[in-house]
Chains A and B, each alone.
Chain A
């Protein structure tokens, strides 16, 4: 979905480094999400934000932090990367004012490898 842009698309880094993954959207949605996808485990929610002042932990938030800089921007940080954080990371948005049950719109992901 070109309306949700993730950068970088690929990143290889070393254990202990600080990494930031960025997500920007042009859909005008209030809600934004960060997921990681691992083979055999599916998509798991890391953090979510219902508006600029609202940040919530998801299922697997340990080792991660987020920042919602504006309605359109939501970044994910790994303060000190470890190899088991190697995964495919996705950002998503949804349209809150229309209520719950709304579809989520995903970016094309960041493939992160930690050596």
Chain B
């Protein structure tokens, strides 16, 4: 069966450290992968997109990698801040702009 797993339901890290979130998938062949941030009571907000032929993408303090052999994406937040505390969702795109979402990882950055 198809499955998208995000490494853990919750992750706590100290301010200033790098947070690394994992997204693993099985039985999908995604053409691209997107990462979203979701705050309590709000809808998801798009952060980054990486295509299957790209190894890495960066945006400010964010970095995403995509390994189609391992069927895994890693999402890094460097120099983390308490304002980065949120739930982060990965989403696989297989074409036609339909996305399949993981269940999310709730990140807490401790001051």
Contact = CB atoms under 8 A, between A and B. Distances in A.
B46 to A, nearest CB: 4
Given A42-B103, A42-B104, A43-B89, A92 B97 contact: no
Contacts, number: 59
Interface in B48-91: 49, 51, 89, 91
B26 to A, nearest CB: 15
Most chain A CB within 10 A, of B4, B51, B89, B96, is at B96
A42 to B, nearest CB: 4
Contacts of B16: none
Contact of B49 (A58, A101, A106, A107): A101
Interface in A35-50: 35, 40-45, 48
Interface in A90-105: 90, 92, 94, 96, 100-105
Q: How large is the interface on A (under 10, 10 to 19, 20 to 34, 35 or more residues)?
A: 20 to 34
Given A41-B103, A42-B89, A42-B103, A94 B97 contact: yes
Interface of A: 1, 4, 31, 35, 40-45, 48, 58, 90, 92, 94, 96, 100-109
17 contacts: A4-B43, A31-B97, A42-B4, A42-B103, A44-B101, A45-B99, A90-B43, A100-B97, A101-B49, A103-B34, A104-B34, A104-B44, A104-B46, A106-B45, A107-B43, A108-B43, A109-B42
